[in-house]
Structure 1
Amino acid sequence: MSEFIRNEEVLRLAALGKTYNPGTPLEQQVLHDIDLRLGRGELTALIGPSGSGKSTLLNLIGLLDSPSAGELYLLGRPTHALDDAARTRLRNEAIGFVFQFHHLIPAFSVLDNVLMPLMIRHGKPTPAEVELALELLQAVDLRGFADKKANQISGGQQQRVAIARALVTRPALLLADEPTGNLDTKTAESVFALFRRFNREFGCAVLVVTHDPRLAASCARTVQLVDGRIVSDQANA
């Protein structure tokens, strides 16, 4: 695992806002003046009631949408003025995603699913990249399933494949949106343990959206969003 500088800034949001349908009768401001900083090695939970703006905020952080106000800095780089091609390139290089629904390609092998971000980036993966993917599958206890089709393994195993896929590009930032929402309690705890392990070993900043208070409490920090505003940002005991 590569060395990293703990708490080196990965993400900074400065007065970030998001308004839909501006200037029309349907105008709705969803996020208000969001200020947030994430450093390498941080494991942070994002919590809040439904409709609080969590998904919108995650889409902005993931460079899947653009803010209406403020600035988002990723690895020190301002992103608001980037064109679509530059945003896509930066997203692919710096961010890994794990969703509630794993979005694996059923007809592809487990190994090919893990390698997919690299294949999208530059085509056929190198032998070193294949070895890294196999190492990640080993880390999530699935190396023996590398040649199986994604639809031949369980839901919990598929989510672990999705975590390996998110990490294969060695992202600086890992975003997880309700990653254990469809899993039973025991499987959810094992999956979350992987987030803690890779956060520690890879040094990536991890932001996890969760409704599970036990999982949030197991993070080092919890940020609470209510009505599009951060109302609490505190370290967990």
Structure 2
Amino acid sequence: MSEHDAAQEVLRLEGLRKRYNVGKPTEVEVLHGLDLSLHRRDFAALVGASGSGKSTLLNVVGLLDQPTEGELYLLGQPTRRMDDEGRTRLRRESIGFVFQFHHLIQAFTALENVLMPLIVAGGKPTPAQLAWGRELLAQVGLSGLEQRRPDQLSGGQQQRVAVARALSTRPALLLADEPTGNLDSHSAADVFALFRKFNREFGCAVLLVTHDPRLSAQCDRTITLVDGRIASDE
């Protein structure tokens, strides 16, 4: 990855606000005018107490929900006024998601699960895509297990499949919501190391939500949310 690529801005929030029940007596503002940017080389933790707005922010950043005010730029493209089709396409092509629960499809093999975003987008995977899926599984230490179904894998192995799936589209931004919350300490360390590896080698920006101070301490940057505002970013 060149210096120019590494410096590329992946995400920018300008005055981002999110309200629910707008115009009703129960209207509440959860995010209060956030300004934030992430670049290709960034590896950031998002921390804060329950109710601080972390999940809301992750949903907005992941284009799963729209801000009420302000703008969200993804790879330089303003997204607030995009139609659903445009947002879906940009999300599919540019963002990878890893959740606390791996959400693998039990009827499919590890390889098929990894390639699912590509299958949804384009149908039957090409030979090149199959090779890419095998390479990703090898990168996460699961070479030889391509044909196993999720119930034939350990919890840590299933989460590694989920990490590989999130990277199958070569996303510019990887969003991880408590990705090690269900894992033992050894498996958690392995999964965290994978995020580090792909951040360095593929240049995808990483935003990782965690309650684990040991995990956030290993990130290059920690963004702390307090009551829907960024209290610190260092």
- TM-score computed with the length of structure 2 as normaliser: 0.98
| Structure 1 letter corresponding to 2:228 | G
Task: Give the whole-Å Cα distance in 2 for the aligned partners of 1:142 and 1:203.
Answer: 22
Instruction: State whether residues 40 and 203 of structure 1, in contact with CA within 8 Å, keep that contact through their aligned partners in structure 2.
Output: yes
Residue number in structure 2 paired with 1:73? 73
Residue number in structure 2 paired with 1:223? 223
Task: Give the whole-Å Cα distance in 2 for the aligned partners of 1:178 and 1:83.
Answer: 29
Deviations 1:98-133 (A, max 9, x none): 000000001100000000000011111111111111
Task: Give the whole-Å Cα distance in 1 for the aligned partners of 2:121 and 2:77.
Answer: 20
Residue number in structure 2 paired with 1:16? 16
Task: Give the whole-Å Cα distance in 1 for the aligned partners of 2:114 and 2:87.
Answer: 22
Residue number in structure 2 paired with 1:169? 169
SS at match of 1:56: helix
Instruction: State whether residues 46 and 222 of structure 1, in contact with CA within 8 Å, keep that contact through their aligned partners in structure 2.
Output: yes
Task: Give the whole-Å Cα distance in 2 for the aligned partners of 1:217 and 1:197.
Answer: 17
Task: Give the whole-Å Cα distance in 2 for the aligned partners of 1:5 and 1:115.
Answer: 26
Cα RMSD after superposing both structures: 0.9
Task: Give the whole-Å Cα distance in 1 for the aligned partners of 2:212 and 2:232.
Answer: 17
Instruction: State whether residues 107 and 151 of structure 1, in contact with CA within 8 Å, keep that contact through their aligned partners in structure 2.
Output: no
Matched, 1:204 2:192: no
**CA displacement at 1:5 relative to structure 2:** 1.3
Residue number in structure 1 paired with 2:181? 181
| Structure 2 letter corresponding to 1:179 | P
Residue number in structure 1 paired with 2:151? 151
| Structure 2 letter corresponding to 1:174 | L
Instruction: State whether residues 7 and 38 of structure 1, in contact with CA within 8 Å, keep that contact through their aligned partners in structure 2.
Output: no
Residue number in structure 2 paired with 1:61? 61
Deviations 1:154-209 (A, max 9, x none): 11100000000000100000000000000111111111011001100000000000
Deviating beyond 4 angstroms after TM superposition, the runs of 4 or more aligned structure 1 residues are: none
Instruction: State whether residues 178 and 210 of structure 1, in contact with CA within 8 Å, keep that contact through their aligned partners in structure 2.
Output: yes
Figure out how many residues of one structure are paired with residues of the other and give that number.
Answer: 233
Task: Give the whole-Å Cα distance in 1 for the aligned partners of 2:17 and 2:103.
Answer: 29
Task: Give the whole-Å Cα distance in 1 for the aligned partners of 2:231 and 2:91.
Answer: 28
| Structure 2 letter corresponding to 1:208 | L
Structure 1 unaligned spans of 5+: none
Residue number in structure 2 paired with 1:88? 88
SS at match of 1:144: coil
**CA displacement at 1:7 relative to structure 2:** 2.3
Task: Give the whole-Å Cα distance in 2 for the aligned partners of 1:131 and 1:143.
Answer: 12
SS at match of 2:231: strand
Deviations 1:4-45 (A, max 9, x none): 711210000000000000121111100000100000011000
- TM-score computed with the length of structure 1 as normaliser: 0.97
1:7-156 maps to which residues of 2 (within 5 A)? Answer: 7-156=7-156
State the percentage of identical aligned residues: 65
Task: Give the whole-Å Cα distance in 1 for the aligned partners of 2:203 and 2:35.
Answer: 22
